[in-house]
Chain A
Amino acid sequence: MSAFISNLPGKVTSLFAFTENPHLNGGQKLASKYFTVAMVLFLAQLLFGLLAAIQFIWPGFLFGWLDFSVNRMIHTNAMVVWLLYGFIGSVYWFLEEESGTEIAGLKFGVIGFYVLTIAVTLVVLVYLLIQTGPGKDASIWFINEGREYIEAPRWADIGIVVVMLIFFYNVAATFAKGRWSGVSGVLTLDLVALAGLYTAGMFYLTNITADQYWWWWVIHLWVEATWEVLVGCIMAWSLMHLLGARRKIVQTWLYIEVALMFGSGILGLGHHYFWIGTPDYWFSIGGFFSALEPIPLVAMVVHSVYDAGVHKFKATNHPAMAWIIAHTFGNFIGAGVWGFMQTLPQINLYTHGTQWSASHGHIAFFGAYATINIAFFYLAVQKWRGNVWMSGDLSDNGWKWKWSIALLNLGVLGMTVALLIAGYEQAFIERAMQGSTWNAYFAAQSHPWFREAMVWRTLFGLVTIGGLGLLIWDLLTIGKDEKRPALVLTDRE
């Protein structure tokens, strides 16, 4: 046993031996490790989501063993963490290319990866095996903080902040050593905000109004502000890399998007402050600014389609380019349109805390964030295979990536529509008609419209899982027997 434990670091690192690939630079090797764990967590997200979806149909399923609360928590937490792993990996991926130098303190970055991954594993094991604790500080520190999306116990929060600081050091020190650019400047400042905001969720308050006030600082200012700008940076680099888009144009777009994103998103935070006990001036501030939040997302669609059109869709990596386009449309429809539908307080009074939000959550997180990470996975696989051809005319006509992108998008869209129907039904029957009592809640939950929607959601969930299975298969095999080198873009500046 002790021999096993002393060999453990070697066993863990040997799991990632395949990332030691001569085609990759140091940052890209580390990025590949992050991407691998991200894919595992993506799969976990979908499987635990499926369990939770089944419990809506058969409430007795796994009752007392893996209750809805546990499945739902792992479903959402796995999502947050795999998206973060994808973002961190993407930044490590382009760090050396963008800065023109080797990564500063790479070995700390590698240690940070293992520390974070071991911490994530421990947190999930505790979620699964211990689940809940007594009403004491020790539970909040070591089992579960009990605050949606950031349930990770406090010890893990501290670990996350430490790893984020290492990541920030890698990024800032590398750019400082090499060269700065518009993309790297925005990225570095955004990471300061992203890491700093997490600390707003790291203290206990009995006053639930103040508690939720700060909790939204983390959730909203991550998801609807700093994450959006982070993927803006990732997309800016991707468009230059994939299409050979001109840096000057891409960076100008990035600044426009930052202005619009932060200009609407920071005060758009107010749309979470309608009903938690906070003053009613947030109706006007939150309603107005959050209604503007779709504008930068429209700009992103224009930006990507314009750039792709100008370059006649001649891209170095077709699957990645397709996922980038899926990202801009998904971001606009999921975050923009679905968010706007319920952002004004006049309608939010009836939709707040119903399946409307679940509907919005599914399409927004997928459209805005999962898509761009998947695009990067394809970039990584291409380089890992030796920078092989990944434009048109792939072997098998690229059916696997085409079917997986179609199934994943169809699956998520189907779940979104099913949940929206459930949300409409809840808003009308439970809220508007019956006044939100417990009886009203159960009347809405057992209505045929709601039950049917839950069945459709589960079926489309299975379609999504099918799409993911195909995606994993494709990522493991694409470019395997490819001999042609990657397309070289000639008009790059």
Chain B
Amino acid sequence: MSHQPPNWASEARWKKIAIWVTAGSFVLLIFLTFDTLSKTSVGGERVRAYSVINQEIDYRFDAQKNRYMPVIGKEAPLFGKVVTEAEAEQLVTLGKKTVQSKNCMNCHTLLGNGAYYAPDLTKSWLDPNWINPENRENLMLAFLKDPVGNARANASGRVMPNLGITDEEAHGIVAFLKWMSAIDTNGFPNNFKTINAKD
């Protein structure tokens, strides 16, 4: 191994390539980050304003885009009260902080990320399991406050533990879940039939 390596295999050349490739990739990532954050700010087309909780939300197949899309409908205030954007933000924030403090993500997934011991929460507001859109809020509040007492039998045998969620926190979580269901997730999950879907 005493001969000189060919030019393409020289250490100095690969050092330069490593530096340029790394720097170039990182600069591109920064550029894309600015673009993505501007397109996903709250109030835009992809991530709706918090006050979207005042409206009906659905998730349907869009023939033009050839994927499932959130559909924002007529006024349908959460807990029977129209809230301002600031009030909505406060409520959703309480919900999000509760979701973090109660460690929901280590059983559930949110936007598909988390643990796989309990169902995904991305479109849980729209899940047909709540049976009737009119009574959904009450069922959700009751379930969150006492998941053991209100457990619905499922064949896996798993039950959500009581996490000491207060009435106020439960309202926040429901608001957060309703707001999250309006995020445009590029068609994830696919083929999801919501509580509003007609058979």
Contact = CB atoms under 8 A, between A and B. Distances in A.
Interface in A455-486: none
A406 interface: no
Contacts of B52: none
Interface in A108-161: 131-137, 139-140, 143-148, 151
Interface residues of A, number: 87
Interface in B80-128: 89, 92-107, 109-117, 119-120, 123-124, 127-128
Interface stretch (B10-18, B71-79, B132-140): B10-18
Contacts of B26: 262, 266
Given A274-B186, A277-B46, A446 B156 contact: yes
- Chain B: number of interface residues, binned into ranges: 35 or more
B21 interface: yes
Given A144-B103, A182-B11, A209-B40, 8 more contacts: A68-B106, A206-B50, A207-B47, A251-B11, A259-B18, A275-B185, A435-B190, A442-B119
A63 to B, nearest CB: 7
Interface in B137-176: 154-159, 161-164, 166, 169, 172
Contact of A208 (B98, B180, B190): B180
Interface of B: 1, 5, 9-11, 14-15, 17-18, 21-22, 25-26, 28-29, 32-33, 35-37, 39-42, 46-47, 50, 89, 92-107, 109-117, 119-120, 123-124, 127-129, 154-159, 161-164, 166, 169, 172, 180, 183-193
25 contacts: A52-B117, A59-B158, A64-B161, A69-B107, A72-B106, A73-B103, A73-B106, A132-B102, A136-B97, A144-B101, A146-B103, A207-B47, A209-B46, A255-B14, A255-B15, A256-B14, A258-B18, A266-B22, A267-B29, A277-B183, A278-B36, A350-B190, A353-B114, A435-B189, A435-B190
Interface in A56-92: 56, 59-60, 63-64, 67-70, 72-73
A213 B103 contact: no
A143 B116 contact: no
B14 A436 contact: no
A431 B25 CA distance: 34
A378 interface: no
A262 B93 CA distance: 36
B105 A148 contact: yes
B99 A146 contact: yes
A283 B186 contact: yes
A134 B106 CA distance: 17
Given A59-B158, A148-B105, A255 B186 contact: no
Nearest to B50: A206
Residue of A72, A204, A285 ringed by the most chain B CB atoms within 10 A: A72
B92 A206 contact: yes
B100 A146 contact: yes
Interface of A: 52, 55-56, 59-60, 63-64, 67-70, 72-73, 131-137, 139-140, 143-148, 151, 182, 186, 204, 206-210, 212-213, 246, 248-249, 251-252, 255-256, 258-259, 262-263, 266-267, 269-270, 272-280, 282-283, 285, 349-350, 352-355, 357-358, 426, 431-432, 435-439, 441-443, 445-446
Contacts of A136: 97, 101
Contact of B192 (A56, A63, A132, A437): A437
B111 A208 contact: yes
A439 B128 contact: yes
A134 B101 contact: yes
Contacts of A255: 11, 14-15, 17-18
A145 B100 contact: yes
* Shortest Cβ-Cβ A-B pairs, 10 listed: A135-B98, A146-B100, A446-B155, A436-B189, A353-B112, A275-B188, A139-B101, A255-B14, A69-B106, A266-B25
